[in-house]
A and B are shown apart, each in its own frame.
Chain A
Amino acid sequence: MSRRAGRRLFWVTCLALALAGFLLSILTGPVKTTPGDLLRFIRDPGRVEAAIFIDLRLSRAVLAFLVGAALALAGAILQGYFRNPMADPFVVGVSSGASLGAVLAASLGFEAAAFGFSGPGLLAFVSGLGIVSLVYVLSLRRGGFKVETVLLTGIAAGALASALTSFFLFMRSDSYDQAVFWLLGSFQLAEWGQVASVGPWFVACLAAALWLARDMDLLALGDEAAQALGCPVSRVRKAFLAMSALLAALSVAVSGIIGFVGLVVPHWVRILIGPAHRPLFAASALAGGTFLLYCDLIARNLLAAELPIGVITAAVGAPFFLYLLHKKR
């Protein structure tokens, strides 16, 4: 099969899976509904059905898709940024930093809203970006830019942030549900307002990433080579870092920490369609959204009680991560 045909197959399959995922999401849930109910609803909308189909299930599916797409795109960006396949929002500390910010805001009762974010969402973004910048600056101090140093610094900073997050959650005795939400993620409380606050930012980041994708390809040759080829390296790097932090922090702000999507999905996509960054970014977003949509379906339908979605993504993602690790050796 030619590369072009392979790519076309990938896009068609992914789109079909995504559409099927949305339909399944609308049709399944703790309240039993059949395709007949949905058709009847479309012809003659009732109040209760509207709430269940549109307000609860569809908003949740759309949010899960958006967050999955944002995380996978952030992962794809960071893997290119660090020229390292093990990078993801988790490893460089954005996720942990963002969740620390959100939990801190919630415990301090910081509720001021701005730019369409809630207080915790706003602080999540600031602290997510803060921790990445910190990691970046710390790693730059020793003269050269070494990928290993950045990753290890990120892991350490992320661990520190998670420890502080757990501490603040523990200090509030009534926060079991909050702890589960911020440490393992959930779309249980998804609503259209969240979709509206994540959507535009995601679209803007995706567009910017696609526009700058050529420069990312050049960065793969090394910073000096890229500079020689006319790429404004430091500006491009800053833009990508800010985008990945924004995407990851936004995701954490609406759905808590969801691991492995950002790590695993870009790998699948790279194997299937190749390493050129423009198609990689777009395809990662689509595949990540679809992946998380199905993970959320499992999370809310596997058992009578809802599972945190982080449990599902890790259960699927971790074995794949191990496989990759050993295949590389």
Chain B
Amino acid sequence: MAPNVTEILFALGLGGRVVGVTRFCDHPPEARGIKRVGGLVDPNIEVIRSLDPDLVIAFRGNPLRLVDRIGKLGLPVFVLDIGEGLEALFPLIVKIGRVTRSDGRAETLAASLRRRLEAVDEVMAGVGTRPKVFVLLYGQGLWTCGGESYVDDLIGRAGGTNVAAALPKKWALYKRERIIEDDPDVIFILARSAKDFAAGRDWLAQGAGVSGVAAVRSGRIYELDENAASRFGPRLLDVLDRMARLLHPERFGGGP
């Protein structure tokens, strides 16, 4: 009942056994052909029951009362939480592997993802200057990720500092004055498309009142795939690679 779970199931080669997904499950593209049971907060119990699944996997964001109701129907429900930071991704994959009897494949996937994480950690070891980073979730207003978000962890591992790290929330609306005061060196825009990214960049340069900020002046505004970055799944490693290369091109032997 969450796009990242669908993604992990497909990554484990279990795509063929998935009978229902949410309307947000669009990766990999094959997932779009599967029966939709509703959204993250409004999956339809009746549709789920009619699919007669052997297992329902719920994730943080699915209303607990709803999860509880599905359990009372006699369906086995496995509830997963997001955990702290990127490290939590590996046990998550292993757990999904265990409940789907794919332990071996899950261990392998988790290990290979962990190697990629360690590779980035290695490159970033002893990094001197940490650019100040602001992440903008494209849309209405200055939404950013606070210190409790795994995106904050991504920024840290990629060799940057999240200017909004002090916010005790996952996602929060940031104040304009704070950005001007923080003066971030780099801004990442989480955008759904190149068009959204361009619109977000133009908005920062003109409409947002933050045109004096270092990142806007130097043009270090980069696009991140919102679809990959907003899902706690395997593609976060791609996002991490991209962030690291953009923040510290010198450590990757030249430009990104």
Contact = CB atoms under 8 A, between A and B. Distances in A.
Interface in B4-35: none
Interface stretch (B38-46, B86-94, B98-106): B38-46
B44 to A, nearest CB: 5
A31 B50 CA distance: 7
A47 B169 CA distance: 43
Interface string B114-149: 000000000000000000000000000000000000
A159 interface: no
Interface residues of A, number: 22
B65 A56 contact: no
Contacts of B50: 31, 48, 52
Interface in A32-51: 47-48, 51
A173 B145 CA distance: 13
A224 interface: no
Interface string B70-83: 00111000000000
A176 B42 contact: no
A51 B75 CA distance: 10
Nearest to B47: A30
A322 interface: no
B53 to A, nearest CB: 11
Contacts of A178: 63
B61 interface: yes
B42 A306 contact: yes
B66 interface: yes
A123 to B, nearest CB: 16
A52 B72 CA distance: 13
B52 interface: yes
A56 B46 contact: yes
A300 to B, nearest CB: 9
Interface residues of B, number: 22
Nearest to B44: A30
Contacts of A48: 49-50, 52
Interface string A54-65: 011100000000
Contacts of B63: 177-178
Contacts of B61: 174
A51 B49 contact: yes
Contacts of B251: none
A305 interface: yes
Contacts of A51: 49, 73-74
A133 interface: no
Contacts of B49: 31, 48, 51-52, 56
A30 B169 contact: no
B69 interface: yes
Nearest to A31: B50
A166 interface: no
B41 A176 contact: yes
A189 interface: yes
B41 A31 contact: no
Contacts of B170: 173
A215 interface: no
Given A30-B44, A56-B49, 17 more contacts: A29-B46, A30-B46, A30-B47, A31-B46, A31-B47, A48-B50, A51-B73, A51-B74, A52-B50, A56-B46, A173-B171, A177-B41, A177-B63, A189-B45, A189-B65, A305-B39, A306-B44
The 5 nearest A-B residue pairs measured at CB: A31-B50, A177-B63, A177-B41, A189-B69, A51-B49
16 contacts: A30-B44, A31-B50, A48-B49, A51-B49, A51-B73, A52-B46, A56-B46, A173-B171, A177-B63, A177-B66, A188-B45, A188-B66, A193-B72, A305-B38, A305-B42, A306-B42
